[in-house]
Structure 1
Amino acid sequence: METVFRRKGDSMRRVVTSWILAVACVSAVWAAEPANRKSNPQVKAVLEYFYSLSGRTDNRIVSGQFTDFGNGANLRIMARIHEATGQWPALLGADYADFRRGSITTKVPNAAAIEYGKQGGLVSIMAHMYNPANPKGGGLRDKGVDIADLLKEGTDTNQRWMQQLDLIAEGLLELKAAGVVVLWRPFHEMNGGWFWWGAQKPESFIAVWRHMFDYFSTTQGLDNLIWVYGPNHGEKTAAYYAGDEYVDLLGLDAYTDFLDPEHVRGYDQIVALNKPFGFSEYGPHGASNPPGDYDYRRFLAGVKQHFPKTCYFMCWNARWSLATNQNVKEMLGDPAVVNRDELPKELFSSTHKPVAGPPVEGNWKLTFEDTFDGDRLDSSKWIPSYQWGQTHNYNAYCDPNHVLVEKGLLRLKVEDKPSHGKKYTSAVITSYGKFSQKYGYFEGRFRIPTGKGLWPAFWLLPYPQHWPPEIDIFETIKDDPQVYMTYHWDDQGHKSSGKHWSGDGFSYSQEFHTYGLLWEPDQIVWYIDGVERSRFTDARVIVSEPMYLLINFGIDAGWPGQCDATTPFPSYYECDAIRVYQTD
């Protein structure tokens, strides 16, 4: 490995080179494969980076600062640290729970996390979860639960637990959609007796951890998590470890002035688990009433001398924090410490890039693609009309001249101009007679207009044509912020199953988003920006015949209501790519 010589602020740094060389050496020491084998490439890059740090002489300990709980989480404490030291901590911490109220709050912590991620920082999320055995939502210190009861299906405790998991997953899915890798640290300090999940039977605790891992990774499709096991220093630091297949990083929580083996116990046991290690929480002067006069150089000196495998730390907030104690500038300026501006930019290279391709593993082959790079519609792939003469556009004439291909985009145009006896002029394209496929993954990337009476859609119909069945990859109507995903079939009469979704801050009209559909013999799964949003699993009625593509701009036709004076004319429904895949 190349040794890196530099000073803080030195413009001639070779940090990235050192990281790349270190990653190449990782396999000889540890295996940097994520616990979730379906983790996205960003997770793998961040995890490899942590693995690379242990062999360095400098630039090897990632700095971190916890912000606050729930609605208190923001970037102010990070800004105070920067103002005092000239450095931004590399890792931001936040908590999805409100600590005392026993509730889950994700929107405010996520806003801070997303913004810090955009600025090139790493993100750690935890949750002081409430006790699901308490019907009133007991706080984190509300005891009196056997953790094994959380997994007893059909019980009120299990129902409340699953509801809590869904709330947490919703927040983590928002971070996934924003391209944020999360160091997810659940059930911290589980070897102590002060939280309801603490000091439980190890086998029961491990079962609950593994259930959460499987539920988040598989059912919820969370591929942006790095799983952190963080007991308190002391006894039994390895007793609750769920296994290499369920953990990525290791941590110890420690609140003490003295960084030495006498005062911080359990280090040898936890590093023997052979994963990257750090101080997942640190605070001086014990766990209550710190005076705020600690010399943080002592912390770093103790880490270097007694805990050499440390590759990250996260200081607690309030008067334990980097913002309120002494000599923090010198500590963060030490060559051993990695601050935000020194993180390799490659860790964030895939952040906010458009999602494309099947979100599940398999031997996928691209069977259809149009990126609309020409100056006209590709007639080998599409026709600018509907097989039955009209779609739901019974108040609009679908004019081929309203199908525009320009600047790498397909643009379907709608106007309030009468044509061919219709009140409006609109557009549609279909792949009827050009392309159809049974099963696979279908996706398109669209920017969708809003307005009274507008009805853009991307959907599938059987070839040769009949109805039902019909799979709507998405539809939107008027100025409703929701995206509708529906399957129509005929099972002794017409039936349908659908779901609508809208996310905080999600705008399908201001930005391009990727809408995907996985269609298999036993399930149909809908995705938005690579995140699963709906699933249908009644294999008895899932269509098993080839279907073709339709991109349609409906208007003033029943469900979306009538146009009015607020409807924007002309309106454009835009697409920059359509892709279809099939697997063996």
Structure 2
Amino acid sequence: MYTFEAENGILQGVTTSQEVTGFSGSGYVTGFDQSENSLSMTITAPKEDMYQLWTGYNGPHGNKNSRLMLNDQPFGEVKFPPTLTFSEINYGRVKLNKGANQLKFTMGWGWYDIDYVKIQSAPSREDHQIENTLVSPNASEEALSLHRFLVDQYGESILSGQQTLLHALEIQEKYGKLPAMVGFDLIEYSPTRVQRGSDSKEVENIFQWHDLGGITTLAWHWNAPTDLIDTDEQPWYRGFYTEGTTFDIEKALANPDSEQYQLLLSDIDAIAKQLKRLQDAHIPVLWRPLHEAEGEWFWWGAKGPEPAKKLYRLLYDRLTNVHHINNLIWIWNSESPEWYPGDDVVDIVSVDSYPPAGDYSPIDNRYDNLVELVQDRKLVALTENGPIPDPDLLQDYQTHWSWFCTWGEHFIQDGLQNSQEHIQQIYDHPYVLTLDELPDWKTSRFP
């Protein structure tokens, strides 16, 4: 193991200090409180190889992060959980050149101290042990077939994905190919939106996409069942945000006889009607409810992990055992162990990732967190992204995301989040599967 002290680096707008005890070396670097602040360190590797990287830090001001540059290229972020003394965080794996490598910490979400960086040769990836089963006891043939295809492709390729059919068609117009997967949303079927005049043709859009041979992934920005704030500052259509409603999920779940609990069931039943339309059409769905709960910016995550997990299990039970919807492949969307609802109700684990514009790093550390969460027994997916990871880096790092699904609008239009050259490279890359390259996964059945 090799250790490099932060105080020996090049400091921009930050200083060294010895005020807080417990550091290594002769001090630590502090003062990350301005956007231009940075620490640049020379990391000398004995050979070109993949290395595990640890950072010694102090985080007395709550959850923080720093954005990294590796050899002048954006390289994700390191998260610093809150601490009361100097601690160590495992960033994950980095590929280093033999000799000098430049690692730069930029402010990110500041107010933390950096003590040192350690590296050690990383072990080789082990073969995946993905379970070829689904949690639904009566999973449809179509769902089994799709899951089998994804398992077979895992590590051999990454499926291209794009949020909304409209933006997928925009990709085709600009870059000549359609993605293998499109992300859809049941948001407008939420009863509190329907009551206010919302209408949706999203299920019809899925029919159209399925007829083209594409794979469907589906989320639900669930407008709260009641208690929308509905003001000029927080209009009713922002009712899926925590700040857009006073609905208390913890209180509702604690009292099954309450009106709030019954409204939860009523909302689930309304969505079940739309999912049944897809089941009747023999369309399997990569189903990602309660996404980004860990962020707590949506009401289903606002009260912490326990209510969110309880609501997820309620969704699973009602859709599976009451409505007998069996075309769903269940996706959980968090890398945190304390938020995980359990192996018995999850088929695929995932994260959403929005690094800074132009950061095409493989997001390897978050991938590793998910692999560890499920002991490499379930597929791991990048269910939303801004910048698209570089396929060459994905292969170098053996970061085997099953698919990516890029958000729309400026993420594919401004040339900054993803340059036009980068998007073209993605859709032309042999490691990336596009719609025209999909086999007939619909007829691939389990024996």
Q: Same fold (TM over 0.5)?
A: yes
Query: Which runs of 5 or more structure 2 residues have no equivalent in the other structure?
Result: 1-126, 231-235
1:93 paired with 2:195, answer: no
Q: Residue 210 of structure 2 aligns to which amino acid in structure 1?
A: G
- In the alignment, the residues of structure 1 paired with residue 364 and residue 247 of structure 2 have an alpha-carbon distance, to the nearest angstrom, of 29
- In the alignment, the residues of structure 2 paired with residue 106 and residue 214 of structure 1 have an alpha-carbon distance, to the nearest angstrom, of 27
Shift, 1:55, TM fit: 3.9
Q: Percent identity?
A: 26
- In the alignment, the residues of structure 1 paired with residue 303 and residue 327 of structure 2 have an alpha-carbon distance, to the nearest angstrom, of 28
* Match 1:219 to one of 306, 313, 322: 322
- In the alignment, the residues of structure 1 paired with residue 264 and residue 348 of structure 2 have an alpha-carbon distance, to the nearest angstrom, of 25
Query: Which runs of 5 or more structure 1 residues have no equivalent in the other structure?
Result: 1-26, 68-74, 285-295, 351-584
Shift, 1:311, TM fit: 1.4
* Match 2:204 to one of 111, 132, 136: 111
**Number of aligned residues:** 297
- In the alignment, the residues of structure 2 paired with residue 323 and residue 76 of structure 1 have an alpha-carbon distance, to the nearest angstrom, of 17
- In the alignment, the residues of structure 1 paired with residue 171 and residue 315 of structure 2 have an alpha-carbon distance, to the nearest angstrom, of 35
* Match 1:339 to one of 420, 434, 439: 434
Shift, 1:98, TM fit: 4.2
1:269 paired with 2:369, answer: yes
Q: Is 1:38–1:223's contact at 8 Å kept on the other side of the alignment?
A: yes
* Match 1:321 to one of 386, 397, 412: 412
Shift, 1:83, TM fit: 2.0
Q: Is 1:283–1:316's contact at 8 Å kept on the other side of the alignment?
A: yes
- In the alignment, the residues of structure 1 paired with residue 294 and residue 175 of structure 2 have an alpha-carbon distance, to the nearest angstrom, of 35
Shift, 1:267, TM fit: 2.9
Please give the residue correspondences for 1:252-331 in structure 2 after superposition, counting only pairs within 5 Å: 252-257=351-356, 258-260=359-361, 266-272=366-372, 273=374, 274=376, 275-284=378-387, 299-306=390-397, 308-321=399-412, 325=418, 326-327=420-421, 328-331=423-426
- In the alignment, the residues of structure 2 paired with residue 40 and residue 106 of structure 1 have an alpha-carbon distance, to the nearest angstrom, of 29
What secondary structure sits across from 1:216 in the alignment?
helix
C-alpha change, 1:189 and 1:346, in structure 2 (3 Å) is: closer
- In the alignment, the residues of structure 1 paired with residue 429 and residue 327 of structure 2 have an alpha-carbon distance, to the nearest angstrom, of 31
Q: Is 1:267–1:307's contact at 8 Å kept on the other side of the alignment?
A: no
Match of 2:120 in 1: none
1:162 paired with 2:162, answer: no
Please give the residue correspondences for 1:380-459 in structure 2 after superposition, counting only pairs within 5 Å: none
* Match 2:298 to one of 176, 182, 195: 195
C-alpha change, 1:28 and 1:88, in structure 2 (3 Å) is: closer
Q: Residue 313 of structure 1 aligns to which amino acid in structure 2?
A: F
Q: Is 1:120–1:348's contact at 8 Å kept on the other side of the alignment?
A: no
Aligned-residue Cα RMSD (Å) equals 2.8
- In the alignment, the residues of structure 2 paired with residue 166 and residue 265 of structure 1 have an alpha-carbon distance, to the nearest angstrom, of 38
1:239 paired with 2:338, answer: yes
- In the alignment, the residues of structure 2 paired with residue 160 and residue 245 of structure 1 have an alpha-carbon distance, to the nearest angstrom, of 26
TM-score, L = length of structure 2: 0.61
Cα shift readout 1:202-249 (whole Å, capped 9, x = no counterpart)? 232222111110110111111100111113xxxx62322111110111
Match of 2:142 in 1: 42
C-alpha change, 1:179 and 1:101, in structure 2 (3 Å) is: closer
- In the alignment, the residues of structure 1 paired with residue 155 and residue 188 of structure 2 have an alpha-carbon distance, to the nearest angstrom, of 38
Match of 1:61 in 2: 158
Q: Higher relative CO (CA 8 A, sep ≥ 6), structure 1 or 2?
A: 2
Match of 1:121 in 2: 214
C-alpha change, 1:83 and 1:259, in structure 2 (3 Å) is: closer
User: More helix per residue: 1 or 2?
Assistant: 2
1:149 paired with 2:259, answer: no
1:51 paired with 2:146, answer: no
Match of 1:399 in 2: none
Shift, 1:307, TM fit: 6.1
Please give the residue correspondences for 1:485-500 in structure 2 after superposition, counting only pairs within 5 Å: none
